[in-house]
Amino acid sequence: MSFIKSNENISDSGKRAEGASGALCNVLHRFDAQEQGEEAYRIVRELYPICRSITGDGVRQSLCLLQGTAPLELREVSSGTQVFDWTVPKEWNIRDAYIKNEAGERVVDFQRCNLHVLNYSVPVRQKMSLKELKPHLFTLPETPDWIPYRTSYYRETWGFCLTQRQLESMGDGQYEVSIDSTLEPGHLTYGEYRIQGATDDEVLISCHACHPSLCNDNLSGIAIAARLAGLLKAVSLRHSYRFLWIPGTIGSITWLAMNEAILPRIRHGLVLSCVGDSGPFTYKRSRRGDAEVDRAVEHVLLHCEREFQALDFTPYGYDERQYCSPGINLPVGCFMRTPNGRYPQYHTSADDLSLVTPSSLGESLLQLLRVIQVLDENGRYFNLNPKCEPQLGRRGLYRQMGGTKDAAASEMAMLWVLNLSDGEHDLLDIAIRSGIPFAEVSRAADALKEAGLLGSAS
């Protein structure tokens, strides 16, 4: 493990040459969703057993494992650091926890599933009756085989989460309760990776990395962010890309508080969460509602040939709550499949390795790459021959035989780009208005630029 204290500079990989544009298009061309999905699933499986929280060694261990996929750096912020209205909490670590019955058998055992401990439980070692114990026990009576996931980060207490069946099988005797944890001054740890592009304008990709053995929420997001970083690091891009693997809420608040100077450079952003289940895509818009990233994601999903839903921003969910607080107000949306709280396994032990699939992970990554393509290739142009259509035919850009019913797709894309390139509409506008996928519109713009018919408006 190599730690870097927060706010040190991350070494840039150097300004990329602008000439290599189109490389992203090659990544998409070569993209094998199944293979990519399996790589992502491998990461999920590897991280699954680790007990993570908003601080502690589980986070560190997880981030180090991700370094095999993307060269992220670990950053540490001391407990007690003031971050806006919040204070970085003490660091929590746990070695073992159990409830033993009178026979000395572990009826609840942290070693079997780390969800069994109320996350951030203070240490305890005590004998008590079931009646005394009960206020510290959490179950899900309606799904009696599932362990709930519960936390108590900011009120010092302890507890156990167990299945309803476990609870019902516990007799009235005395129990030995043990949580071998520490809650002490230490650090909050997060992962960060920045790819320098041709410009300093940034795209932010953020995911919460604080949940223990829960796969869709959010090992799926963690893995996809790592794979996306891995794919983009080799590509010539216009924007710089910043990836964050952070504890939910306190992590984004900490990062925002310590990086306010960077915020004006963030042009677009996405929070990734719950991207591994097989449900249709869900996009939750940024607080602005019509930011470029909002329009880009909705355009891409409209062409993904599956149902999807786009939801207006609400101040509940993931770290978009902080990125979209009124004093920050970044254009950051949240990219998901089935949203938090909308699938039965949410925040239970049933959010396990069977809920996420390689093919869902692969498809999520593909759509994200398409969104990145829109964000990176979008631009505003001027038709340099704005009075009537230019004669595309003599430039070899238009069919010579007239009378057929429809124009070819590439011709339609060129006509649209020419018609709407008045300095007011960008390529994404044109793609949305025409119903033509962005990639086709972008290709048409390239052909027209090459023919000298289109000039940059910026």
Residue 85: CB minimum distance to its own copies, A: 4
Q: How far is CA 263 from CA 288, 331, 340, in A?
A: 16, 11, 27
Q: Is 151 a residue that touches its own copies (CB under 8 A)?
A: yes
Q: Is 252 a residue that touches its own copies (CB under 8 A)?
A: yes
Scan residues 350-379 and list those touching its own copies (CB under 8 A): none
Residue 262: CB minimum distance to its own copies, A: 14
Of 416, 426, 438, 447, the one binding its own copies by CB under 8 A = 416
| Residue 436, φ and ψ in degrees, nearest 5 | -95, 135
Q: How far is CA 11 from CA 14, 15, 66, 69, 230, in A?
A: 8, 11, 18, 18, 17
What character string, x for contact with its own copies (CB under 8 A) and - otherwise, covers 264-303?
A: -----------------------x----------------
Return the structure tokens found at 213: 């053995």
Residue 316: CB minimum distance to its own copies, A: 6
Task: Reply yes or no: is the peptide bond before residue 218 cis, omega within 30 of 0.
Answer: yes
Q: Cα-Cα-Cα-Cα dihedral of 14, 365, 441, 292, to 10°?
A: -70
What character string, x for contact with its own copies (CB under 8 A) and - otherwise, covers 302-341?
A: ----------x-xxx----xx-xxxxx------------x
413 Cβ neighbours under 8 A, 6+ residues apart: 434, 436, 440, 441, 443, 444
Under a CB-based contact definition with an 8 Å cutoff, are residues 308 and 282 in contact?
yes
Q: Is 261 a residue that touches its own copies (CB under 8 A)?
A: no
Cα–Cα dist 348/368, whole Å: 27
What character string, x for contact with its own copies (CB under 8 A) and - otherwise, covers 119-148?
A: x----------------------------x
Of 153, 243, 245, 283, the one binding its own copies by CB under 8 A = 153
Of 86, 93, 233, 265, the one binding its own copies by CB under 8 A = 86
Give the number of residues in contact with its own copies, rule: CB under 8 A.
60
SS (H, E, C) 220-261: HHHHHHHHHHHHHCCCCCCCEEEEEEECCCHHHHHHHHHCHH
Which DSSP state fits 217? I
Neighbours of 87 (CB within 10 A): 13
Using DSSP's 3-state secondary structure scheme, residue 130 falls into helix
Of 4, 25, 65, 412, the one binding its own copies by CB under 8 A = 412
Q: Is 3 a residue that touches its own copies (CB under 8 A)?
A: no
Of 92, 110, 149, 158, the one binding its own copies by CB under 8 A = 149
Residues in contact with its own copies by the rule CB under 8 A? 84-86, 119, 148-155, 249, 252-253, 256-257, 287, 312, 314-316, 321-322, 324-328, 341, 346-347, 383, 385-391, 393-394, 400-407, 412, 415-416, 418-422, 433-434
